[in-house]
Amino acid sequence: MKRNIIAGNWKMNMNNSQTAELIAALGKLGKETKTEVVVCVPFTNLAAARKAIRGTGIKLGAQNVHWAKSGAFTGEVSADMLTEQGVEYVIVGHSERRQYFNETNETVNARAKAALAAGLKVIICVGETLDQREQGITEKVVTEQTIAALTDISAEQLKKVVIAYEPVWAIGTGKTATAQDANDTIAVIRKVVRKLYSRTIAGALRIQYGGSMNANNAKELMAMPQIDGGLIGGASLKPADFIKVVQFDK
């Protein structure tokens, strides 16, 4: 059976002392639940987070990675740099990267392949804007993004991939797709993977919902048959709320 995965995306928040305090407040969350728990922290907090998660069962994640092993890429971080810091997961293609930093389907794919080649596990984000949703092209957008993101990624490598469906209009706005809408769009993503690989592989792939999942709606969303977890933004910065999301079935 697949193991659900809840990942906290801290975005550009928390310093080192706050990182230690927040993780301490989570306790042994990763050992006390069947759900896999990940915290994706800013680059500057990786060392502090690595120390703080010892004995908790929580996995360490980063928020971005460059496609080159090294070079003149000021401000970027390579996959090898992340693995050296003990990182296990990395987010690529987050909607904020696409919206504010000119991320494209091609660069998302390049980052994902570089991360996988270095042994990292990858959370690949896809999702439509409000305008695209209102145009009725959600299925077209997520299909194109998924196909592009998985280009030249083998079935074996896909075992280390998680896809996060995050409708851009629901990120940080407090708005959330209905549980059924989220489930239906994730079903579209899974259909794409089935066509690219196989029914078995598509069924085994974990797909998260990343549109403002929180303590109040996690149980309903996680009850949907296509949803295997969540990529959590604001709620991941509040220990009590994050614990409730992870323990959605209690």
| From 36, 96, 128, 166, the catalytic residue | 166
| From 94, 96, 103, 128, the catalytic residue | 94
How far is the first Cα of the chain from the last one, in angstroms, to the nearest whole number? 20
Q: What is d(CA 43, CA 62) in angstroms, rounded to the nearest whole number?
A: 7
Q: What is d(CA 6, CA 10) in angstroms, rounded to the nearest whole number?
A: 13
Residue indicated by tokens 């194109």: 144
Q: Is 60 helix (H, G, I), strand (E, B) or coil?
A: strand
Question: Is position 166 annotated as part of the catalytic site?
Answer: yes
Question: Is position 66 annotated as part of the catalytic site?
Answer: no
Query: Exposed, middle or buried: residue 187 (CB in 10 Å: 0-12, 13-18, 19+)?
Result: middle
Q: How many CB atoms lie within 10 A of CB 82?
A: 25
Catalytic residues: 94, 166
